[in-house]
Structure 1
Amino acid sequence: MINALSHVNWLAVLVASAAHFILGGIWFAALVGDHYAAALGIADQPRQKPGPLFLAGPFVCGAITITTTATLLRALGITTYSDALALGALVGVGYLVPMTVTIAINPLFPRPFAYALLNAPFFVAGSLMSCAILVALS
């Protein structure tokens, strides 16, 4: 596995991370913004200007996830889009969606399943997109 990590295409990881970050901006600002605020129980509060952590945090976390996925792609010898998309679906549905639901069922979330339903498709789409980019640039 360490050998696979040393053969990761870091440019591909950077491009996939940037694309994932942009997808997140579009997803949460333009597509589900009002519903997301309602799921968090803050729809009645004025929108806050995002700070540096709000912007850097998702990018860094996405880059870590994508680096892990790139390592798995290398370790498994995946070079085709079909296999990459299968891995993207496996990671998205098998890891990211359950993680999202686990976070959402925290008692501090007023609408946990609405939160999960808004986030889960983003993580699956981001995983699929990232795997396609990683294979395309490798």
Structure 2
Amino acid sequence: MEFYAENWLAIIAAAAAGFVVGGIWYGPVMGKKWMGAVGLTEEDVKSGNMGLIYGTTFVLSLVASTTLAHLLTYFPAAPLGTVVLIAVGVAAGFILPAIGTNYLFSQKSRTLFLIDATYWLLFYAAMGVVHALL
């Protein structure tokens, strides 16, 4: 299997998988609870520049996927479970502490942290699955 950093199909597909996870998580699964936790209404959300928001989010997902792909080049023969654990470990070891620190200092709720932290774990798990399979 040709691995990761040069596999642009995997990078794009993994970014898309994470993006889809976000749409599901912040839509039907946790959308209303998330809006309440951040103090937004549906009208507030709809009034945002959706093209800019979704476009930039996808570009940032590509950055995350490319970075994960680069890390995974050090594990060229790793099985699916290992790749997913590495990806989730990136989220648990880097992203969760960073957002947790920000949320503590900005006095955000534990609910918002749990919603966002779970999303990032799922986002990286989805990317890990795609990178492992492609």
Q: How does the TM-score come out when normalised to structure 2?
A: 0.84
Could you report, residue by residue, the CA deviation over 1:92-113 in whole angstroms, capped at 9, with x for unpaired residues?
2111211221332343x6x432
Q: C-alpha distance in 2, partners of 1:113/1:47?
A: 21
Alignment deviations for residues 103-137 of structure 1 (CA, whole Å, 9 cap, x no partner)? 32343x6x432211101111111111111111110
1:1-138 superposed matches below 5 A: 7-43=5-41, 46-51=44-49, 52-107=51-106, 111-137=108-134
| TM-score under structure 1 length normalisation | 0.82
TM-aligned CA distance change 1:105 to 1:58, over 3 Å:
farther
CA–CA separation in structure 2 for the residues paired with 1:32 and 1:69: 26
Q: When you count helix as a share of all residues, which structure comes out higher?
A: 2
Is the 2:21–2:126 Cα contact (8 Å) retained in structure 1?
no
- Matching residue's letter, 1:61: L
Distance 2:77 2:96 in 1: 23
Distance 1:43 1:79, change over 3 A: same
1:49: how far off?
4.0
Further displaced range: 18-27 or 96-105: 96-105
SS at match of 2:76: coil
Gaps of 5+ in 2: none
Once the two structures are superposed, what CA deviation does each residue of 1:29-79 show, in whole Å capped at 9, x if it has no partner? 111111111111224865424422211122111111111111111123353
Return the letter of the residue paired with 1:134: H
Provide the secondary structure at the position in 1 that maps to 2:78: coil
User: Which structure 1 residue ranges, 5 or more long, are not aligned?
Assistant: none
Q: Secondary structure at the match of 1:23?
A: helix
Residue identity matched to 2:9: L
Q: Using a 3 Å threshold, how does the CA distance of structure 1 residues 129 and 78 change in structure 2: closer, same or farther?
A: farther
Larger RCO: 1 or 2 (CA < 8 Å, sep 6+): 2
Q: Report if aligned partners of 1:101, 1:113 keep a CA contact under 8 Å in 2.
A: no
Query: 8 Å contact 1:13–1:66 — kept in the other structure?
Result: yes
